[in-house]
Every structure is written in structure tokens, then in C-alpha cells.
């Protein structure tokens, strides 16, 4: 299904940006390097806004409404477990969208980004292992 392939592609793009941010944030030497990280955060945010909208408005509602109780239960569980991640991510971005904030507290940025990026990686892993295979074989998503 094209939507699943699109979602997987967005995951790959997000993970690549996250890896780049983590590498560059090991030592934020000057303002231009901090600006570069904020630009990567903005790119990541753009991809995730589209991605989460597709999942929250199409994928998860279709799974949760499935006539197959197993599909509906997994869709509901995954949606509930990951529902707050968008807000956590946006709060994180709001704190670190300025280069000055990165330069002023690099250690805190690295710590917070490790936590948020780990949560994103866990969601991606769960979706690849459970949700997407289920969605590809579910009548619910084909009808969506």
C-alpha cells in the first residue's frame, strides 16, 4: 500500500536527520554550527508534522475501526501508547529552535534530544514491527 511505503520513507528521513543532529551536537563550536542544527530540527519537524497527520488522521483511525478485533486492539494500543509523543516533540522543538539556546546549554540539549529521539526511535521500531505489517494486510486500511 502506497501510504505505508510513504510512511516508511518518512521514518528513514527522520532517522537520518536525527543521526545528523546527534553527530553535530556532540560539539556545537559556534553560532553557524548551532544554526545548522536548528535548521535540521526545522526539517525534522516538517517531516514529522506531515507524517503524524497521515498516521493520526488516516492510519490509526482505520485500524481502530477495523471489524477485526485483533487489528482494532493493536491499533488502539499503539495509538494510546504513542499519542502524547507529538506534544513532547513540539515542546522540545519550542525550547531548542533558537541557536542561542543551543549555544547556551549544549549539555541540556544533548540530554533532552537523546530522550526525545529515543522515544521517536521506539515508536518507529514499533510501527515497523507491528503496525505497518498489520496495516498492509488489513482490509481497514485498504478501504481508507
Task: Look at residue 19 in the predicted model and tell me its pLDDT.
Answer: 97
Task: Look at residue 140 in the predicted model and tell me its pLDDT.
Answer: 43
Task: Look at residue 142 in the predicted model and tell me its pLDDT.
Answer: 52
Task: Look at residue 56 in the predicted model and tell me its pLDDT.
Answer: 84
The DSSP element (H or E) to which 100 belongs, if any, is helix 99-104
What's the pLDDT tens digit per position in 61-114? Answer: 999 999 899 999 998 988 887 778 888 999 999 999 999 999 999 999 999 999
CA of 3: how far to CAs of 7, 17, 51, in Å?
6, 21, 10
Model confidence at 54: pLDDT above 50? yes
Read off the pTM: 0.88
Amino acid at each position: 500500500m502506497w501510504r505505508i511505503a510513504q510512511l516508511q520513507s518518512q521514518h528513514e528521513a527522520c532517522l537520518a536527520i536525527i543521526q545528523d543532529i546527534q553527530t553535530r551536537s556532540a560539539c556545537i563550536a559556534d553560532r553557524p554550527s548551532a544554526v545548522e542544527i536548528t535548521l535540521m530540527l526545522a526539517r525534522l519537524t516538517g517531516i514529522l508534522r506531515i507524517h503524524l497527520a497521515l498516521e493520526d488522521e488516516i492510519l490509526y483511525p482505520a485500524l481502530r475501526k477495523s471489524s477485526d478485533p485483533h487489528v482494532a486492539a493493536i491499533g488502539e494500543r499503539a495509538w494510546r501508547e504513542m499519542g502524547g509523543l507529538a506534544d513532547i516533540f513540539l515542546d522540545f522543538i519550542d525550547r531548542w529552535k533558537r541557536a542561542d539556546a543551543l549555544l547556551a546549554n549544549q549539555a541540556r540539549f544533548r540530554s533532552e534530544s537523546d530522550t526525545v529521539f529515543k522515544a521517536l526511535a521506539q515508536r518507529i521500531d514499533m510501527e515497523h514491527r507491528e503496525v505497518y505489517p498489520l496495516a498492509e494486510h488489513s482490509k481497514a486500511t485498504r478501504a481508507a
